[in-house]
Amino acid sequence: MGNSSEAFAGGVAVITGAAAGIGEGLTRRASELGMKVVIADISAEGAETLAAELRGKGREAMAVRVDVSRPEELERLAEQVHASWGDVRLLVNNAGIETIGMSWEIPAARWEQTLNINIHGVVHGVRAFAPRMLASGKPACIANLASTGSFGIMPTQTAYIMTKHAIQSFTECLYLEMQMTGKPVQVSTIVPGMVKTRIFEASAGTGEPTGADRHRAVMRELMANYGMDLAAAAEVIFDKLATGAFWIDTQPDMTRDMIDGRIAFLTERAAPRLAPMARSLLGLDG
């Protein structure tokens, strides 16, 4: 594929969790590139607000309320999109939440919500759209949101970290499965580093155990001070997707550091230990 506009202009993009955060950034970039965008989000109001803004700029946008934790809603989404706009050029399984707290203190409902959104939302997004992509025989792309956390560890962010490890391994296996079909369906893992979003806002922590607010506040400050601009990150992601790459990272040095640390851990087979920055974040150095 050539540059991002040549690769994606005129195609249909379906992005979950598209009304905020990285999903919103990707939606805006897809629209700028001339794609028809399907803004799939749990917030019907947020999705429609963004869709109305894009339509006001003369672009094509469809807002659909979708709870990705429910497989039947993803199947309904696929049916609606194909009935309205036909084949999908790009599916980004982006929807996800951060959960903070000691593993045994996180309520069962919050655990289930995290696993169902972050893991099952991706799996069933693929199940809903991949058969249609394969049947069309046209070039298409499935991109799943992993994280630099897919290669690391962090206590009190265990729920989120384990889901991202799962998505990374799922996407690697999915890539090989698509290779076996011989069809032109690209599979990519999107590995954001520190990107400025609202994922650590206090309002996103409903159902977390007491004490999670402090960790969220520290992470919000780090993100505000050191995070990559969302629009810049979205541009990098689309430029790399356009090359057909499997690895789509926003900050390659950050990805490399995390992977190098993981390799060292697996090679040494020592007990897990915290990096100095993580110890400081958790207040363990005082």
DSSP-derived 3-state class of residue 246: coil
What pLDDT, in 10s, does the model give residues 210-253? 888 888 888 888 888 889 999 999 999 999 999 999 999 999 99
Helix, strand, coil % over all residues of the chain, rounded to 5: 55, 15, 35
What pLDDT, in 10s, does the model give residues 21-54? 999 999 999 999 999 999 999 999 999 999 999 9
Which one-letter amino acid corresponds to residue 131? P
The pLDDT of residue 286 = 54
The share of the chain scoring above pLDDT 70, in percent, equals 98
Residue 1 has pLDDT above 70, yes or no: no
Annotated catalytic sites, by residue?
Answer: 160
Q: Quick one: which of 145, 194, 197, 187 has its CA closest to 166?
A: 145
Residue 116 has pLDDT above 50, yes or no: yes
Locus of tokens 């580093």: 193
C-alpha pair distances (Å), 4 with each of 15, 94, 229, 234, 240: 17, 19, 19, 11, 8
C-alpha pair distances (Å), 246 with each of 142, 150, 173, 189: 10, 15, 12, 6
What pLDDT, in 10s, does the model give residues 85-102? 999 999 999 999 999 999
Mean pLDDT of the chain: 94
Select the more confidently predicted residue: 206 or 146.
146
pTM of the entire predicted model? 0.94
Residue 2 has pLDDT above 80, yes or no: no
Q: Quick one: which of 128, 51, 126, 118 has its CA closest to 82?
A: 128
Instruction: Find out whether 279 and 285 touch, Cβ atoms under 8 Å.
Output: yes
What domains are there in the chain, each with its CATH number?
4-281 (3.40.50.720)
C-alpha pair distances (Å), 67 with each of 37, 146, 225: 18, 19, 32
